[in-house]
Amino acid sequence: MKDWTGNRIRCFLTVLVFFLIPYLLFGCRKVSFESSEGDAITPMDKNLIVVGVSQVGSESVWRTANTASIQKVFTKENGYFLIFKNARQKQENQIKAIRSFISQRVDYIVFSPITETGWDTVLQEAKEANIPVILIDRKVKVQDDSLYVTWIGSDFIHEGRMAGEALEECLSQRKNTKDTVHIAILQGTKGATSTLGRTQGFASVAETHKNWNILEASDAQFTTAKGEEEMERLLKRYKTIDVLISQNDDMTFGAIEALQKEKIPIGGEDGIIIISFDAVKNALKLVEEGLIAADVECNPNQGEYVEKVIKKMESGEAVAKLYFVPERVFTRENVSAHLLKESGE
């Protein structure tokens, strides 16, 4: 006769160890989370705060730095379990990621919305699941702004204004202030807050100068390849381009390729004036060399600010609806000291 008692005890112990104890430990919450790699993770210390992050993509050097600032902060050592998803520049991938965070019942959802519209439904689902949403970098246009707790990012309109003010400075330093200044603009992703804000901010300065002629604003999607392609097209279309306003450094790198191919002088006394955004390290070296006249910083280090907000919320403190990160403009006057300090760090 088989020893049923022994089997029964073994079976009871298995259920106890692998199901009952974890269930008691984690309450009703699922005892395993899908990791960023997509495989299920075994139960983990219930004290970790689970943060689901949906990132736009990896379209630019700035984006890579932004991602690094998040991954550096949300570590197990700091008390977090990070589920990070890269949407590869597709809104539907971000919506899918947010839905997976909801089904995994994470504690917080953090995301940079690739464009401003199309988020009401999925953010309503997060609200109904009682999961707070924190926006970084770019904004959403929603009917009900209680669908997100706060937004952390750059003052893009101010960035655009700073670019306009930098161009005023450049033109005033040039002896031969031309009667008409012909300006081309490389814009970032259509509908992105950074694109909208930089365009609006620069326009608010440009409209005070009757002799500034904006030839065209073309969509180069924040990438180097499109920046080069669009710059080639603009050079074919317009006989004279005195100024290029490029809404991120990646597009600027592409545009410089195109200009150098056509042997068009850049910077100096009478070369094309390039004003860029993001102020990533390789671009600041071009500021030092005089190829970029001014680079408006777009501070990517938002991870630490997100953590401050989560800590406040964890301790029941109220949080503001909006937090701006600090930013400067780099020109030949201040870039070398900054690069030296950065390399020293």
Binding site for ligand GZL (CB under 6 A): 59-60, 62-63, 137-138, 154, 188, 192, 194, 222, 248, 250, 277-278, 298
What value, to the nearest 5°, has the Cα angle with vertex 232 and ends 229 and 235?
150
What is the per-residue binding string for Zn ion in 157-176, x denoting contact by CB under 5 A?
-x------------------
Our CB check for Zn ion shows the closer of 6 and 326 to be 326
Task: Give me the least distance between CB of 52 and ligand GZL, in Å please.
Answer: 20
Residue 242 CB coordination number (10 Å): 20
Give the shortest CB-298-to-Zn ion separation in angstroms. Answer: 14
In the sheet that 294-297 helps form, which strands lie side by side, from edge to edge? 212-219, 181-187, 243-246, 273-278, 294-297, 329-330
Distance CA 224, CA 282 (A): 13
- Which of ligand GZL, Zn ion, none is residue 229 near (CB under 5 to 8 Å by kind)? none
Of 184 and 247, the one with the shorter C-beta distance to ligand GZL is 247
Instruction: Give the DSSP letter string of 59-110.
Output: -SHHHHHHHHHHHHHS-TTTTEEEEEEE-TT-HHHHHHHHHHHHHTT-SEEE
Q: Two tokens at 326?
A: 């600090």
As a whole number of Å, the CA-based R_g of the chain is: 25
**Could you tell which of ligand GZL, Zn ion, none binds residue 221, using a CB distance below 5 to 8 A set by kind?**
none
Stretch in the footprint of Zn ion (CB under 5 A) among 84-92, 135-143, 151-159, 296-304 = 151-159
Q: Which does 307 bind (CB under 5 to 8 A by kind): Zn ion, ligand GZL, none?
A: none
Q: Which is nearer to ligand GZL, 278 or 307 (CB)?
A: 278
The site partner of 67 among ligand GZL, Zn ion, none (C-beta below 5 to 8 Å per kind) is none
Size of the site for Zn ion (CB under 5 A): 1
Choose between 132 and 160: whose C-beta lies nearer to ligand GZL. 160
The two beta strands, 294-297 and 329-330, are: antiparallel
CA distance 193 to 139: 6
Q: Which is nearer to ligand GZL, 62 or 330 (CB)?
A: 62
Nearest to ligand GZL of 63, 161 (CB atom): 63
Task: Using CB under 5 A, list all residues that contact Zn ion.
Answer: 158
